[in-house]
Amino acid sequence: MNEQIQQQHKYNTEEEVFNEIIPGYQLTIDKILKTGVTLFPNNEIVYWPPNGRRLHFAFSEFNERVNRLGWVLKELDVASGDPRRMGTRVAIFDWNTHRFLELLYAVPMYGAVLQPVNIRLAPEEIIYVMNKSRDEVAFVNADFLPLIKAIAPKLEHLRKIVVMHDGEEPIKIERIGNAEVYDYEELMKEAREFNYPEELDERTVMVMMYTSGTTGLPKATIFRHREIVLHAIAVLIIAVWNWYPAHYLRFTRNAYNPLGEPSLLLVPFYHVLGWGAPYYNIMGGTPKIVLPGRYEWNHIIRLIKEEKVKNAAGVPTMLYLMLNSPELKDVDLRGFLWSLGGAAVTKGLIEEARKRGVILTNGYGLTETAPVVIAPALSPDLVMSLSEEELQELVVNSIGKPLPFVQARVVDEEGRDVPKDGKTVGELVLRAPWITLGYYGDPEKTRAAFKDVWFHTGDLATWDERGFIYIVDRAKDVIKSGGEWISSLKLESLISLHPAVAEVAVIGATHEKWGERPVAIVVLRPEFEDRVKEEDIINHVRAFVDEGVIPKWWVPDKVIFVDELPKTGAAKIDKKVLRDRYRDVLIKR
* Rg, Å, the chain Cα set: 25
Residue 465's contacts (CB-CB under 8 Å, 6 or more residues apart) are 420, 421, 422
Alpha helix ranges (H) inside 201-271: 225-238, 244-252
Phi, psi of 580 (to 5 degrees): -65, -35
List the one residue out of 226, 181, 275, 292 whose CA is nearest residue 24: 226
Q: Are residues 360 and 336 in contact, defined by beta-carbon separation less than 8 angstroms? A: no
The whole-angstrom separation of Cα 211 and Cα 71 is 31
Report in angstroms the alpha-carbon separations of 51 from 48, 62, 248, 325, 558: 9, 23, 35, 19, 44
Q: Environment class of residue 254 by beta-carbon count within 10 Å: exposed (0-12), middle (13-18) or buried (19+)? A: exposed
Active-site entry in 64, 252, 485, 552: 485
The whole-angstrom separation of Cα 206 and Cα 115 is 9
What letter represents residue 309's amino acid?
Answer: V
Q: Environment class of residue 51 by beta-carbon count within 10 Å: exposed (0-12), middle (13-18) or buried (19+)? A: exposed
Q: Is 211 a catalytic residue?
A: yes
Q: Are residues 545 and 551 in contact, defined by beta-carbon separation less than 8 angstroms? A: yes
Neighbouring-strand partners of residue 428 = 410
Phi, psi of 192 (to 5 degrees): -110, 170
Q: Is 485 a catalytic residue?
A: yes
Q: Is 480 a catalytic residue?
A: yes
List the one residue out of 280, 260, 282, 307 whose CA is nearest residue 46: 307
Active-site entry in 28, 204, 211, 346: 211
List the one residue out of 151, 208, 109, 118 whose CA is nearest residue 437: 208
The whole-angstrom separation of Cα 436 and Cα 316 is 25
SS3 102: helix
List the one residue out of 367, 426, 435 whose CA is nearest residue 407: 435
Active-site entry in 445, 480, 533, 552: 480
Q: Are residues 512 and 588 in contact, defined by beta-carbon separation less than 8 angstroms? A: yes
Crossing angle for the helix pair 29-39 and 225-238, nearest 10 degrees?
Answer: 40
List the one residue out of 391, 395, 575 whose CA is nearest residue 492: 575
Q: Are residues 270 and 442 in contact, defined by beta-carbon separation less than 8 angstroms? A: no
Residues carrying an active site annotation? 211, 368, 480, 485
